[in-house]
Amino acid sequence: MNLKIENLFNLFKKYKKNGCPNCFEKNIIGFGIDYLKSNFISSIKLTDEIGKIKIYQCEKCKAQFYIQGNMYEKIIDGQIELLKEWSKRNLVCPNDLKIEIEKIGLTNNWSLDKIVPCKVELNNGKKYEYTTIIFSDKPPLGHHYSIYKNIFFIDDIKHISESEYGISLEIRRQAVKSEEQSMGFYPTVLKNRDGKKVVLNGISIFFNSSNIKGSELELANEEWNYRVEYTYDTNNYSEKTIVIAKK
């Protein structure tokens, strides 16, 4: 009986892959702990700890990961240095900046962290549009942070002001309630002062398309209709910036 069990175990083990999911799928951004156990003879080992965040690495493909909940999240190139800076800094938002942020208004992002759209000026005088300030105690790791061209910390910031491309607090609050109309599409219908209809998808916080800026928009108070021709935001904001503060 024991021999049969051992043979079954060895047969099951034979069909497992050696390494990790990233060894076989390079565009992967994360995977479940249970998925790893079920399908792989894991090569992932604990290699470091930075600011109480444990860093893991696959001995086969050399990809690095950290654990968030029940998931291994992939660490993007360059993010270890970012994590070291994040772990060293206090990152409490100063009162003068907090006042400006409260004027613009905070809303939640997809992970329930507080965010605000704005324009910032750094201590060195450089200014950046399309800036998101995020208040989070989560480490600045993973795919989400890789979409930003510029990443700064709150103590890098001298001044905060409203962005002419930023979406108003009223619209952002309503957009959170939008219902899915198709896969990944959560429309909120808006209009500008000339009555031109535009559509915001999900919890987007900037708009700049067809010479229409986010600050010019207001709620149209109507449901999205696939038969109607709207203006959609086609700007990918490749220059977008994120500023990290701790809660």
Tell me the per-residue pLDDT of 107-163, one tens digit each, with 9 for 90 and over.
999 889 999 999 999 999 999 999 999 999 999 999 989 989 999 999 999 999 999
131 in the same domain as 100: yes
| Domain count of the fold of the chain | 3
- pLDDT per residue over 29-83, tens digit each? 999 999 999 999 999 999 999 999 999 999 999 999 999 999 999 999 999 999 9
Domain end residue (candidates: 44, 75, 106) = 75
Q: Is 70 exceeded by the pLDDT of residue 184? A: yes
Q: Is residue 84 part of a domain?
A: no
Q: Is residue 95 part of a domain?
A: yes
Under 8 Å CB-to-CB from 102, ≥6 apart: which residues?
Answer: none
- Average confidence (pLDDT) over 13-17: 72
Q: For 142-146, 166-170, 230-234, which range has the lowest pLDDT when averaged over its residues? A: 230-234
39 in the same domain as 10: yes
Q: Is residue 81 part of a domain?
A: no
With tokens 């490749």, the residue in question is 238
Q: Is residue 136 part of a domain?
A: yes
Instruction: Return the pLDDT at 13.
Output: 53
With tokens 């219902």, the residue in question is 179
Q: Is residue 29 part of a domain?
A: yes
Instruction: Return the pLDDT at 1.
Output: 43
d(CA 206, CA 116): 10
Is the model's pTM score more than 0.85? yes
136 in the same domain as 98: yes
13 in the same domain as 43: yes
With tokens 């109607």, the residue in question is 228
d(CA 23, CA 123): 42
51 in the same domain as 68: yes
Residue 196's nearest CA partner among 182, 210, 181 is 210
154 in the same domain as 111: yes
Residue 65's nearest CA partner among 81, 82, 47 is 47
Q: Which residues of 40-50 are buried (b: 16+ CB within 10 A; e: fewer)?
A: bebbbeeeeeb
d(CA 96, CA 75): 34
Domain end residue (candidates: 75, 107, 137) = 75
| Beta-ladder partners of 159 | 121
d(CA 112, CA 50): 24
The whole domain housing 70 covers 2-75
CB 45 within 8 A of CB 114: no
Q: What SS3 state is found at 180?
A: coil
138 in the same domain as 97: yes
CB 61 within 8 A of CB 26: no
205 in the same domain as 225: yes
Domain end residue (candidates: 75, 108, 136) = 75
Q: Longest C-alpha distance within the chain, in Å? A: 80
Q: Is residue 80 part of a domain?
A: no
